[in-house]
Structure 1
Amino acid sequence: MSSQRCLNRPIFLIIALLSIFLQACIDSGNDKIVSPPGYQLDKPQRFKMSENLLEISGIAFKNNEADTIYAVQDEDGRVFYFKPGDRKPAYTHFAKQGDYEDIGILHNRIIVLKSNGTLFTFPIEQIKQPKPSDVQQLKGILPKAEYEGLYIDNTTNKIYVLCKDCNTENGSLLNGGYIIDATDENNLKQTSTFQIALPKLSKKNGADEAFHPSALAKNPVNGLWYILSATNNLLLITDAEWRAKATYKLPHSRFTQPEGIAFDKEGNLYISNEGDEFENGNILKFTYNKPAVKK
């Protein structure tokens, strides 16, 4: 964060408070927050991030274990690791400044997605080093394009990469992405694509424009895909075949810019939000409660 941004914070404090108040009034005037089965989007546990994670752009767990959160910052080429609630996260500096979109863990290797499709990977045991000694920069696995999010499925050894602006021989992958075979960790191969079958969005859902996915994760409890859109402030849930099941509005007063999503092994949902000039980034945890079976 620049020194100018820090200086601007006191100047715009009143504006920020007024903006939050007005947005809260708008949200309170809308219908009651509708939540996915098993979750209460209006009752999160909030973890505030430190200044150096203002632009937190992706989060992940190792083997869905919630004791340590791994996060990537949007610009500085750092991977952070910390216990939930820790305000002083440690980090390793894996690369120079760039546009880093998301993070995942393939067994014992950390993988970071750069917006141009380059993958950075290094052994997770090197995360306590100031700079990892074995960073690999993988180019050419993904076609040249702009990318948004990444999810790693260690049970199937597949990596799913969301497109921001991708074109293929069969057309655009605006709401889809590429699948990478990671069976051989030393020889990743892009093997296929996926396309999200989107529902028709309405202005009531806060969708004044096309749906643009920004992050994705698979729920280990029900096997469904949970897909964020920071542009639309929406959560889309699809089945295993990418067919839309439901969309949920994420109130801007709580979800300032939802860019990262992850689940722990209990099915608890975590959504990270980038901060701005007025407020630091955060991670919101939504505890999973098994829905009652309808009789």
Structure 2
Amino acid sequence: MHKVALLIAFGVLILVGFIYFSSERFFPEKSSQGAQSVEIINQWDLPDILVEVSGISYMENGKIACVQDEDGFIFIYNLESASVERKIEFAGHGDYEGIALVGTTAYVLRSDGTLFEVKNFENNLLKTNEYSFDFPSNYDFEGLGYDQKKNRLLLGFKSKTEDDFKSIYAFDLDTKKMKDQPVYKIYFNDPVFDILDMKPSNKMLQPSEISINPDNGKIYILEGINPKLLILDSTGIPEKLHVFKKKQFRQAEGLTFGPTGELFISNEGNGNSGNILHISLN
């Protein structure tokens, strides 16, 4: 009887091991229609404190400023040493979703639309100002990017109140006011979305980040739920939609560019380590 029990237990262990190691083959993570793999040039697995990294912004000397969606800290991550050099407190607990750097000032976006202006964020004399806006409570803000040419911040959200298009708003850095109307509207019936082979709806694009490529001035809009990257020209006209594999981008939340257009995307851990990927779209 004892021998039979041991054989059963051994058999169960073999079965569990087989299922575990072959699960990716038989039960692959579902990707959107038209999904393609991209070249990952380099990958940095982030420490536990950044498992929920939600926004990144390139600094200089191979450093990236990061925020995560629980605590009011800016984390300075060094790509060369693959470590967090510093963490800078700017506010209390909150759902922080994006960061953009403008000189010595960091702007951090909370999901309710509150914008934190953190002046002199790299030294001990930092000062934080808050800006709140009169948006409906169901506007779930996630994307924040700096438009240097027009001296403004671009903001995106995942709200499903708009049936035909997705709006991008702008915060004027001269007046410190939000524009009343969207500066860009991305219509779901645009041919750029044909690759998705689905009925036009809000599910086509649920932005998690916005950034402008300094090399060509184009606007990049990232989605993490069904990972994809929409590229607009400098006037806001859709040009190209890249649909990513879930296997490579588990939850793409952050997007930033190096000084010559190097593309970095960060992923929340979602059961694994968070990471930063240097990728090529070619």
TM-score bin (small chain) = 0.7 to 0.9
Matched, 1:218 2:212: yes
CA-CA distance at 1:140 after TM superposition: 2.8
CA-CA distance at 1:222 after TM superposition: 2.0
CA-CA distance at 1:55 after TM superposition: 0.3
Compared with structure 1, are the counterparts of its residues 81 and 20 closer, same or farther at alpha carbon in structure 2 (3 Å cutoff)?
farther
**What code does the residue aligned with 1:196 have?**
I
Match of 2:186 in 1: 196
Contact 1:57 1:100 in 2 (8 A): yes
Match of 2:12 in 1: none
Match of 1:177 in 2: 168
Match of 1:33 in 2: 36
Contact 2:193 2:204 in 1 (8 A): no
Which segments of 5 or more consecutive residues in structure 1 lack a partner in the other structure?
1-12, 35-40
Contact 1:91 1:128 in 2 (8 A): no
Match of 2:13 in 1: none
In 2, Cα distance between equivalents of 1:138 and 1:173 = 29
In 2, Cα distance between equivalents of 1:149 and 1:133 = 24
Match of 1:157 in 2: 151
Matched, 1:50 2:58: no
Deviations 1:47-66 (A, max 9, x none): 1111000000010124xx35
Match of 1:67 in 2: 62
After TM superposition, the score normalised by the length of structure 1 is 0.75
Compared with structure 1, are the counterparts of its residues 250 and 133 closer, same or farther at alpha carbon in structure 2 (3 Å cutoff)?
same
Contact 1:151 1:159 in 2 (8 A): yes
Matched, 1:251 2:251: no
In 2, Cα distance between equivalents of 1:14 and 1:103 = 43
**What code does the residue aligned with 1:114 have?**
R
- Structure number with larger C-alpha Rg: 2
Contact 1:119 1:137 in 2 (8 A): yes
Match of 1:136 in 2: 129
Contact 2:35 2:243 in 1 (8 A): no
State the Cα RMSD in Å. Answer: 3.3
Contact 2:207 2:223 in 1 (8 A): yes
Matched, 1:93 2:89: yes
After TM superposition, the score normalised by the length of structure 2 is 0.78
In 2, Cα distance between equivalents of 1:149 and 1:66 = 25
CA-CA distance at 1:148 after TM superposition: 1.4
Which segments of 5 or more consecutive residues in structure 2 lack a partner in the other structure?
1-16
Matched, 1:81 2:76: yes
**What code does the residue aligned with 1:251 have?**
K
In 1, Cα distance between equivalents of 2:71 and 2:225 = 23
Deviations 1:131-172 (A, max 9, x none): x652112223766532111101223211110022276xxx67
In 1, Cα distance between equivalents of 2:21 and 2:91 = 36
Compared with structure 1, are the counterparts of its residues 223 and 22 closer, same or farther at alpha carbon in structure 2 (3 Å cutoff)?
farther
Identity level (%): 27
Contact 2:119 2:127 in 1 (8 A): yes
Deviations 1:42-100 (A, max 9, x none): 233101111000000010124xx352200111111111012115233421121111111
Residues matched between the structures, number: 258
In 2, Cα distance between equivalents of 1:137 and 1:256 = 32
In 1, Cα distance between equivalents of 2:18 and 2:69 = 27
Contact 1:103 1:113 in 2 (8 A): yes
In 1, Cα distance between equivalents of 2:72 and 2:29 = 38
Compared with structure 1, are the counterparts of its residues 258 and 32 closer, same or farther at alpha carbon in structure 2 (3 Å cutoff)?
closer
Compared with structure 1, are the counterparts of its residues 55 and 23 closer, same or farther at alpha carbon in structure 2 (3 Å cutoff)?
farther
Compared with structure 1, are the counterparts of its residues 268 and 17 closer, same or farther at alpha carbon in structure 2 (3 Å cutoff)?
farther
Match of 2:7 in 1: none
Compared with structure 1, are the counterparts of its residues 52 and 238 closer, same or farther at alpha carbon in structure 2 (3 Å cutoff)?
same
In 2, Cα distance between equivalents of 1:152 and 1:258 = 19
